[in-house]
């Protein structure tokens, strides 16, 4: 039997041995947290223009959900965590009373109409209510009562974020707007500013995003007769600010292996604009498995909404052929003309030239001698044209916004297939209006198990009528050497407003089906096209809120003010690596054959991977 005294003595000896751990040992310091992306900026420069950095403000408020009788000073800098955004809403006159009297409950919980519901407000926001009317106290009393009612309704509905959350985030000023002073009064009085290119356009108020920038509220009503401004539209702003923060966080946490600048503040658009760039070498390109495009379409002359163009137009980016093996043409050349004395037509001189294509290798083109007239002397002479290298492969697509500044980060990895050669490249951006553009291509290796190596073009779109599917015949191809898999990649959007009673193919659901060698179809479905609020949830994906048009309506494959990521359907399981392959495509409208309903804008490819 063991001796208890000996066991106790042995335990004491072990405790006294050097190097043994004890309760007094200090644990190592924890790994320090990385600095936040958006700490408070105390140094400026500050301003009161759109997208300027907001300086601090401090205003006296009450929080009706906490205590109507207890006023305190809300200080922006003291409350700043980088987690929240701030929305300041105002009542100006009898003409804005409808906005002021609209539902606070809908501001917090979302609104339902026409068989669709908008999402609730994101929780990380503070809302402020300010009156500029002479009878400001009645405005404050009324909004305080509606705040209390809204909080009660949230609790009755068992909302995810109820009164406990919102009570301290709904702030009512105690003074009229003109006595608030500082930033809040300056911006509320100064916006809207028609005389300044950089002043805001929004009479409803303003917002401060998570990067401390002043932002416009935008349009706060549905478009059409009989619709009034409603406060709930303001809850789209903090949702958008969160999406912007996630984008910046992603960029900070996922640095690119190489970046290729496209534009940096130049005015681009109004037809087409080329970026002559130099890509990483072919050897370096072989090491990248991810490609993103980061594009900003800014409002010119100051960045305010009023300086952006007003329509939701198509915008896209293409890879163009570039001339190779350049041969200088002869100095003199003959242009085409009619020799009336001889009674013959003289043909223009031509010369062969060579272009490198994104997917056709090296292609032969022909340059022509054109007639050029000197404006001073009036003399006409011949001048060689540039080699007519063409633009083909679409690598990115967007739809422009109704009067709003936008930025989008889009994964266009399949487009690596068109850039494998590296070196000099020509990129074309095309849309109808001018924007102050900034953008770059981001090449990264994220350790994926495959990367694009080549591609072949498939189908374009066309009129979405009875012959649409007949006009899209199957395509036969062979698998290129070294490929181990393939994806159907397609940019597909439906257009044709006023083409029929249903405004197809913009506002009706259509599906697009691809099948390889008779295998299982991969399908891109656009069922949100008949959803009254189909584009509001896509704010989370970068859609711009509160545009000055019908931005909220779901559409066939797109939203105004949003990028169009490529559809990707893996068909590797049905590839025949030894023999010819046949790929087929068909589209459907309401599950039936297309029938005279607008048009489909499509670029599609089969992208091979290794």
166 plus 269 within the same structural domain? no
Confidence of residue 28 (pLDDT cuts 50, 70, 90): low
pLDDT at residue 9 is higher than 50: no
97 plus 212 within the same structural domain? yes
Q: Which of 47-51, 102-106, 140-144, 529-533 has the lowest mean pLDDT?
A: 529-533
Q: Which of 78-82, 131-135, 588-592 has the lowest mean pLDDT?
A: 588-592
Q: Domain containing 505 — which CATH number?
A: 2.60.120.230
316 plus 330 within the same structural domain? no
pLDDT at residue 42 is higher than 80: yes
536 plus 425 within the same structural domain? no
Assigned domain for 476 exists? yes
Q: What is the pLDDT of residue 551?
A: 96
339 plus 413 within the same structural domain? no
| Structure token pair of residue 4 | 């208890």
The helix/strand/coil state of 461 is strand
pLDDT at residue 149 is higher than 60: yes
* Nearest CA among 291, 356, 261, 389 for reference residue 607: 291
At CB < 8 A and 24+ separation, what contacts does 187-195 make? 187/48, 187/88, 187/214, 188/88, 188/90, 188/130, 188/132, 190/48, 191/216, 194/306
Instruction: Print the SS3 string covering 502-548.
Output: CCCCCCCCEEEEEEECCCCCEEEECHHHHCCCCCCHHHHHCCCCCCC
> Residue 139 is inside which H or E element, if any?
helix 136-156
Across-strand partners of 391?
320
316 plus 205 within the same structural domain? no
Residue 505 exposed, middle or buried by CB count within 10 Å (0-12, 13-18, 19+): buried
98 plus 225 within the same structural domain? yes
Give percent of the chain above pLDDT 70: 92
* Whole-number average pLDDT of the chain: 91
| Structure token pair of residue 363 | 């292609």
Confidence of residue 127 (pLDDT cuts 50, 70, 90): very high
109 plus 218 within the same structural domain? yes
Question: Taking the CB of residue 55, how many other CB atoms lie within 10 A of it?
Answer: 19
168 plus 311 within the same structural domain? no
Mention every residue, 6+ apart, whose C-beta is less than 8 A from residue 111: 103, 117, 118, 230, 232
Confidence of residue 504 (pLDDT cuts 50, 70, 90): confident
pLDDT at residue 567 is higher than 70: yes
Task: Label residues 228-256 b or e (16+ Cβ within 10 Å = b).
Answer: ebbbbbbbbbbbbbbbbbeeeeeeeeeeb
Average pLDDT over residues 100-108: 97
The 3-state DSSP composition of the chain as helix, strand, coil percent (nearest 5) reads 20, 35, 45
Average pLDDT over residues 407-432: 95
Q: What is the pLDDT of residue 4?
A: 45
Assigned domain for 147 exists? yes
pLDDT at residue 7 is higher than 50: no
Assigned domain for 39 exists? no
Q: Which residue has the tokens 């991810």?
A: 290
**Residue range 321-367, pLDDT digits in tens:** 999 888 888 888 999 999 888 889 999 999 999 998 887 788 999 99
Average pLDDT over residues 200-222: 94
Q: How many domains does the chain have?
A: 4
**Residue range 550-559, pLDDT digits in tens:** 999 999 999 9
The helix/strand/coil state of 462 is strand
Assigned domain for 25 exists? no
522-525 sheet: strands from edge to edge: 475-477, 581-589, 510-516, 522-525
Q: What is the pLDDT of residue 225?
A: 87
228 plus 307 within the same structural domain? no
| Angle in degrees, CA 514, 519, 522, rounded to 5 | 35
pLDDT at residue 1 is higher than 90: no
Q: What is the pLDDT of residue 17?
A: 42
65 plus 191 within the same structural domain? yes
Task: Provide the residue range defining the domain that includes 300.
Answer: 254-321+390-448
pTM of the full structure: 0.89
């Amino acid at each position: 039997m063991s001796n208890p005294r000996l066991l106790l003595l042995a335990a004491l000896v072990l405790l006294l041995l050097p190097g043994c751990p004890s309760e007094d040992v200090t644990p190592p310091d924890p790994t320090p947290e990385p600095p936040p992306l958006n700490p408070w900026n105390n140094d400026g420069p500050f301003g009161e223009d759109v997208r300027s950095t907001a300086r601090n403000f401090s205003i006296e408020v009450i929080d009706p959900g906490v205590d109507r009788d207890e006023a305190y000073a809300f200080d922006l800098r003291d409350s700043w965590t980088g987690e929240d955004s701030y929305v300041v809403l105002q009542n100006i006159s009898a003409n804005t009373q409808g906005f002021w009297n609209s539902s606070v409950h809908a501001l917090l919980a979302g609104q339902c109409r026409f068989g669709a519901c908008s999402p609730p407000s994101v929780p990380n926001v503070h809302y402020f209510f300010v009156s500029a009317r002479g009878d400001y106290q009645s405005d404050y009393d009324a909004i305080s009562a509606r705040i209390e009612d809204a909080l009660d309704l949230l609790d009755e509905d068992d909302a995810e974020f109820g009164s406990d959350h919102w009570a301290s985030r709904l702030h009512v000023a105690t003074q009229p707007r003109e006595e608030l002073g500082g930033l809040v009064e300056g911006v509320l009085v100064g916006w809207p500013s028609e005389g300044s290119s950089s002043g805001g356009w929004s009479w409803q108020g303003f917002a401060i995003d998570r990067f401390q920038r002043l932002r416009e509220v935008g349009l706060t009503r549905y478009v059409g007769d009989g619709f009034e401004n409603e406060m709930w539209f303001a809850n789209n702003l903090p949702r958008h600010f969160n999406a912007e923060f996630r984008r910046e966080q992603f960029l900070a946490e996922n640095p690119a292996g190489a970046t290729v600048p496209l534009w940096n503040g130049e005015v681009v658009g109004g037809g087409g604009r080329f970026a002559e760039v130099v890509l990483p070498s072919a050897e370096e390109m072989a090491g990248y498995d991810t490609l993103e495009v980061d594009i900003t379409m800014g409002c010119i002359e100051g960045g305010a909404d009023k300086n952006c163009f007003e329509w939701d137009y198509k915008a896209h980016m293409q890879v163009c052929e570039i001339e190779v093996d350049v041969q200088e043409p002869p100095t003199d050349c003959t242009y085409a003309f009619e020799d009336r004395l001889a009674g013959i037509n003289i043909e223009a001189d031509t010369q062969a030239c060579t272009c490198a294509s994104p997917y056709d290798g090296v292609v032969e083109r022909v340059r022509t001698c054109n007639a050029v007239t000197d404006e001073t002397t009036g003399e006409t002479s011949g001048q060689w044209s540039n080699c007519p290298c063409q633009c083909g492969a679409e690598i990115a697509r967007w739809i422009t916004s109704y009067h709003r500044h936008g930025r989008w980060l889009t994964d266009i990895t399949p487009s690596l297939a068109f850039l494998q050669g590296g070196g000099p490249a020509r990129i074309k951006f095309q849309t109808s209006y001018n924007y102050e553009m900034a953008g770059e291509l981001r090449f990264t290796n994220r350790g994926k198990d495959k990367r694009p190596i080549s591609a072949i073009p498939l189908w374009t779109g066309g009129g979405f009528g009875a012959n649409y599917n007949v006009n899209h015949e199957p395509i036969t191809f062979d698998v290129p050497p070294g490929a181990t898999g393939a994806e159907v990649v397609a940019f597909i959007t439906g257009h044709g407003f006023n083409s029929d009673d249903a405004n197809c193919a913009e506002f009706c659901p259509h599906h697009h089906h691809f099948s390889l060698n008779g295998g299982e179809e991969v399908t891109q479905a656009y069922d949100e096209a008949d959803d009254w609020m189909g584009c509001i949830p896509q704010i989370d994906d970068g859609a711009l809120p509160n545009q000055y048009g019908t931005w909220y309506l779901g559409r066939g494959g797109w939203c105004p003010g949003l990028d169009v990521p490529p559809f990707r359907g893996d068909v590797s399981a049905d590839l025949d690596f030894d023999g010819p392959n046949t790929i087929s495509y068909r589209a459907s409208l309401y599950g039936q054959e297309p029938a005279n309903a607008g048009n489909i804008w499509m670029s599609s490819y089969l992208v091979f991977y290794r």
